[in-house]
Amino acid sequence: MKKLLLYIGLGLLSLTAVNSQSRLNQFLTPSDTLNKPRRNFVIISEAALATSTLIALDQLWYADFERSSFKTTNDNSEWLQLDKAGHVYSAYQLGRIGATALNWSGVSEKDQLIYGATLGLGFLTAVEVFDGFSEEWGFSWGDMLANATGTGLYVGQQLLWDEQRISLKYSFNRTEFASQNPDKLGDGLAEEFLKDYNGQTYWLSFNINSFLNTNFLPDWLNFAVGYGGTGMLTGNDQNELFLNQNPRRQYYLSLDIDLTRIKTNSQVLKSIFSVFNTIKVPFPTVEYTDKTGFKLYYIYF
């Protein structure tokens, strides 16, 4: 009798799990036509999130630095341009999220590109204006160009191919440099992930079959080209406080996986794959660094 009750209980749990997953799949499935409640939910959520984030930045970040009248700055020579690569990546990914959310709402592709793919450009422009009123930084036209490049990479591919054949991805490794200048490079993993340019690599990940249409390679296999840097303690290598700086550019060749091209009928898995497709999948990698030449990694992340 106990076994019978146990089997019945397990069966009911299984049915509940299947029913819940079915409902979640139905919820996550993009609408074929305009779904106004979904569209309104997306617009309100994005507006509220962007507004609250900007308010938090103003109160928790910029409040620690002296305000100034609006000014511009030329920081294009700093950090081996890795900060600019970060702007390109952020604008691309935010735009991709904005367009995907509107696609889920059944919004037309034209409106997805106009109102969704420009989400990153709009948000990062607001952040740049904040920089312009801060004594510590300044409005950077180089950053704005990078933001526009990231947005253009997404929009251009949709207009040209109606798909993303080239994805922008990110990878990170902790380095010994952060502890030498934690104010600039971060103190702890969470800060270093965002601020230590020595550990950041930005990738252009090309989907092979989208370009070559082979019959023997899986549709999800990508070829990736990466860019990074090392030996940086400050943005300017002429800083007199850190004469031991030895900044060097790093270039990478590797394979990658486009998780969004893995075939599945589960909208839950598709959503998970879409989120993690922002990160480069570890693979054997060849590195070329100025002054030191080539180096092979069996697995590089």
> What is the DSSP secondary-structure string of 193-236?
HHH-GGGEEEEEEEEHHHHH--SSS-TTEEEEEEEEEES-SSS-
Tokens linked to 206: 């090309």
Are residues 278 and 173 part of one domain? yes
HSE, side-chain direction, 13 A CA sphere, residue 212 = 14
Residue with tokens 């979904």: 38
Query: Rounded to 5 degrees, what are φ and ψ at 207?
Result: -75, 120
Q: In Å, what is the CA distance from 277 to each residue of 2, 24, 85, 187, 244?
A: 46, 21, 17, 27, 37
Where does a domain end: 110, 134, 163?
163
What's CA 235's distance to the chain center, in Å? 22
Are residues 275 and 185 part of one domain? yes
pLDDT given at position 291: 80
pLDDT given at position 109: 93
pLDDT given at position 14: 37
Q: CA–CA separation, 25 vs 55, rounded Å?
A: 34
Q: Kindly report whether the global pTM for this prediction surpasses the value 0.75.
A: yes
Q: Domain limits at 267?
A: 165-301
**Amino acid at site 298:** Y
pLDDT given at position 63: 81
Query: Rounded to 5 degrees, what are φ and ψ at 72?
Result: -110, 165
Where does a domain end: 163, 186, 204?
163
Within a domain: 12: no
Are residues 169 and 158 part of one domain? no
Are residues 189 and 123 part of one domain? no
Coil, helix or strand at residue 160: helix
The winner for highest mean pLDDT among 16-20, 75-79, 107-111, 200-204 is 200-204
Within a domain: 150: yes
Query: Rounded to 5 degrees, what are φ and ψ at 246?
Result: -145, 70
> How sure is the predictor about 240, in pLDDT bands with cuts at 50, 70 and 90?
low
Within a domain: 295: yes
Within a domain: 292: yes
Where does a domain end: 163, 179, 212?
163
Are the CB atoms for 151 and 117 separated by under 8 Å?
yes
Within a domain: 21: no
Are residues 232 and 173 part of one domain? yes
Give percent of the chain above pLDDT 90.
75
Give the number of other CB atoms < 10 A from CB of residue 145: 14
Q: Which residues contact 220 (CB under 8 A, 6 or more apart)?
A: 207, 257, 258, 259, 261, 262
Are residues 228 and 99 part of one domain? no
Are residues 179 and 131 part of one domain? no
